[in-house]
Amino acid sequence: MRRTRLFLPTLKDVPSEAQIVSHRLMLRAGMVQQASAGIYSWLPLGFRVLKKIEQVVREEQDRAGAQEVLMPTVQSADLWRRSGRYDDYGPEMLRIRDRHDRDMLYGPTNEEQITEIFATHIRSYRDLPKMLYHIQWKFRDEVRPRFGVMRGREFLMKDNYSFDLDFESARLSYDKMFVSYLRTFARLGLKAVPMEAESGPIGGNLSHEFLILADTGESSVWCDRDCVEFDMLARAVDYESPDAVRAVVEEFTRPYARTDEKHDEAVFEAEVPPERRYVGRGIEVGHIFYFGAKYSEPLGARVTTANGEEVPVHMGSYGVGVSRLAGAVIEASHDEQGIVWPESVAPYGVGIVNLRQGDAHCDSACDDLYARLAHREPLYDDRPERAGVKFADMDLIGLPWQVIVGPRGLDKGSVELKCRATGEREEISLESALARLA
Ligand code: 5CA
């Protein structure tokens, strides 16, 4: 993409209500624009990041054996009356009436809807287990939408639902999602710590939240430093082996890690020696639940077992805040100059900075780079702007690599390769820059 063509409305001054760094940077870098309280439009740069996050989430869901579907955003109130949640959900639910005076709602989550789909088609234990997920917009009329996309009213969520014959098998589905979350967040360049959690309005009795550590987080965190030091990508996990999956979960749940209601100070102090105690704040980026027959019972999701008995299926649900992650990644990875994208979600892989637009030599070197870096999704800053403006903008939008092309360098046959994360700049030949970025 050429910068002169890109719709990238960067801002100099950000609205004062943007309290946290990710919100400020997302506005400054022209990623999103508020449409109304807690509701955002995603502009090209933000949209590219959102799609990349979504793709990492999708790949790790598929790898764990889940299948993607797409359910609607607008649901019928009757379905929710059958589970008893229509009245329970309260003012967070956006209730709508259609022209025939039927009660509808904009889905805050999809347990009822997926359970109905399952119940319509699956009757036998032979068709189990199943894991079905979608990546779809949700609406929750939060009392205090804030921190930009981190606590929105409309937000993009990946929600997966598992269906199993018995607790044993449901536990394995839960564990697979647990492992898939560790892999997902690690690929996004995040350290996410799983913590025992309350299950809230989703219900159930087994639940973990995945939090990334950040001072601006809304949740409190008490954990063993061991939790922060795990390296999930360093291991290969065979999802076909229940023992291998279980082993990872056990390793990650052994050290103390609790948030808010589940925290027990006495247990924390007894289990974790002072030098290993971590007390701080975190951002919840994922939440998984096992809730047995809470929805399958009232909605009639039953299967026949091998001995001909009819039983409700055991279910779990597993959420990732996809749009929240765009903000969370920035909270975890930025500096004074701007965003520092991990390679996996960067909106473009490399920026090309032409220091003297209009100079034949510079222009042709940049065109050459631009063509030959196509596989790295280059963003070519071809504006007739001062070098300082281009540098500041490139650092603000945080692409992992920059190739800086100027007349003096070119005379010696060289360009500069800058790594955004370390700030290191290296003068090398154009060919070596291409080789390094290959
Ligand atoms: N049905 C279950 C799991 S599929 C569920 O809804 N769980 S949840 O309520 O915990 O939400 C899942 C994830 O969505 C959260 O971990 C969080 O990352 C994200 N999320 C929840 N509320 C918001 C919000 N208001 N704005 C942005 N992301 C949110």
pLDDT, one tens digit per residue, over 263-298 is 999 999 999 999 999 999 999 999 999 999 999 999
Residue 212: is its pLDDT beyond 70? yes
Residue 234: is its pLDDT beyond 90? no
> Do residues 353 and 386 make contact, with C-beta atoms less than 8 angstroms apart?
no
- Residue with structure tokens 């009356």? 81
Helices in 315-406 by DSSP H: which ranges? 322-332, 360-372, 387-397
The best mutation among 324, 325, 331 to test binding of ligand 1, ranked by most ligand atoms within 8 Å of the C-beta, falls on 324
Residue 255: is its pLDDT beyond 70? yes
116 phi, psi to nearest 5 deg: -65, -40
180 Cβ closer than 6 Å to some ligand 1 atom? no
> What is the CA(318)–ligand 1 centre distance, in A?
9
pLDDT at 236: 85
Instruction: Give the tens place of pLDDT for each residue, 40-50.
Output: 999 999 999 99
Sign of CA dihedral 146, 209, 290, 238: positive
At residue 115 the predicted structure's pLDDT band, cuts being 50, 70 and 90, is: very high
At residue 315 the predicted structure's pLDDT band, cuts being 50, 70 and 90, is: very high
Strands 310-312 and 257-259: unpaired
Question: 87 to each of 80, 292, 297, 345, 389, how far by Cα in Å?
Answer: 8, 21, 18, 39, 55
pLDDT at 202: 66
Report whether the peptide linkage leading into residue 274 is cis, meaning its omega lies within 30 degrees of zero. no
Q: Which residues, in sequence order, are bridge partners of residue 206?
A: 290
CA distance 315 to 157: 19
> Do residues 320 and 285 make contact, with C-beta atoms less than 8 angstroms apart?
yes
Which candidate, 137, 131, 135, 107, places its Cα nearest to that of 118? 131
| Sequence-ordered list of residues with C-beta below 8 angstroms from that of 340, at least 6 positions apart, any chain | 333, 334, 398, 400, 420, 421
324 Cβ closer than 6 Å to some ligand 1 atom? yes
pLDDT at 231: 84
pTM above 0.85, yes or no: yes
Does residue 417 or residue 231 have the better pLDDT?
417
CA distance 157 to 204: 20
CA distance 341 to 26: 12
- Residue with structure tokens 């710590």? 193
Q: What is the number of the ligand 1 atom nearest to the C-alpha of 289?
A: 3
294 Cβ closer than 6 Å to some ligand 1 atom? no
Tokens of 42: 């995603």
Which candidate, 142, 140, 145, 153, places its Cα nearest to that of 17? 145
The best mutation among 54, 75, 142, 157 to test binding of ligand 1, ranked by most ligand atoms within 8 Å of the C-beta, falls on 157
CA distance 344 to 189: 8
